[in-house]
């Protein structure tokens, strides 16, 4: 990169730090940024710094927000008896997009993974237990990812929540809509048979 003028090589170096952006992509992006109108470059730069400075995690549920409590926790129309536990803020966004869920959330910020040294203390499980003890929650929906870590986390949470006398459920397993039966993996297909519903 030493052959570039300094501001260019610096920009390429900074861009290449981002995930999934190698030196070639960084170079292409840098040339694109140079060709962009000044206003747009400033717009992007400002958006980056402002996002970094104004975003935080909600003190109540752990969701990404620019005000705490977050909009979901503030919303008086949400059902506070129904709590959905997810791994990441992205999962809250995914569930909100469905417009199916009217309860509130709890974000764990990860999943149990002994191999990566992530135990219950690394997640927001203590805060979750506190919420369950102090608030009137009737049902906890465990919406962990359908992978090994997610399953382990859900089983662990079910084991410690059930003794509180709270109903614990998890998202249905089955065929993804639009999927092709032929290409669906055996485990999913097995779960779909197991959980078959009467028409």
Among residues 22, 23, 31, 148, which is the contact residue for its own copies, using CB under 8 A?
Answer: 31
Under rule CB under 8 A, residue 93 binds its own copies: yes
Give the residue with the Cβ less far from its own copies, 1 or 160.
Answer: 1
Please give the residues from 37 up to 56 whose contact with its own copies meets the rule CB under 8 A: 38, 40-55
The piece of 22-30, 79-87, 162-170, 188-196 that touches its own copies (CB under 8 A) is: 22-30
Q: Stretches 6-14, 114-122, 127-135, 136-144: which one binds its own copies (CB under 8 A)?
A: 6-14
Alpha-carbon span 139 to 84, nearest angstrom: 8
How far apart are CB 199 and its own copies at their closest, in Å?
A: 33
Q: Transcribe 115-157 into DSSP letters.
A: GGTB-GGGTTHHHHHHHHHHS---EEEE---SSHHHHHHHHHH
Residue 88 burial by Cβ neighbours in a 10 Å radius (0-12, 13-18, 19+): middle
Compute the least distance from the CB of residue 123 to its own copies, in Å.
16
Bridge partner residues of 139 (DSSP): 82, 167
């Amino acid at each position: 990169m030493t052959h570039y003028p300094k501001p260019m090589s610096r920009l390429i170096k900074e861009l290449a730090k981002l995930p999934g952006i190698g030196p070639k992509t960084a170079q292409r992006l840098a040339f694109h940024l140079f060709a962009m109108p000044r206003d747009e470059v400033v717009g992007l730069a400002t958006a980056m710094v402002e996002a970094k400075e104004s975003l935080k995690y909600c003190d109540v549920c752990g969701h990404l927000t620019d005000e705490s409590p977050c909009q979901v926790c503030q919303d008086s129309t949400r059902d506070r008896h129904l709590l959905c536990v997810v791994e990441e803020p992205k999962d809250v966004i995914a569930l909100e997009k469905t417009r199916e869920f009217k309860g509130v959330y709890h974000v764990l910020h990860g999943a149990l993974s002994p191999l990566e040294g992530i135990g219950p203390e690394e997640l927001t499980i203590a805060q979750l237990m506190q919420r369950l003890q102090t608030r009137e929650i009737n049902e906890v929906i465990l919406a962990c990812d359908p992978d090994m870590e997610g399953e382990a986390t859900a089983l662990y949470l079910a084991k410690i929540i059930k003794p509180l006398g709270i109903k614990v459920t998890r998202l249905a397993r089955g065929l993804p809509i639009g999927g092709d039966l032929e290409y669906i993996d055996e485990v999913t297909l097995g779960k779909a048979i197991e959980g078959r519903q009467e028409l």
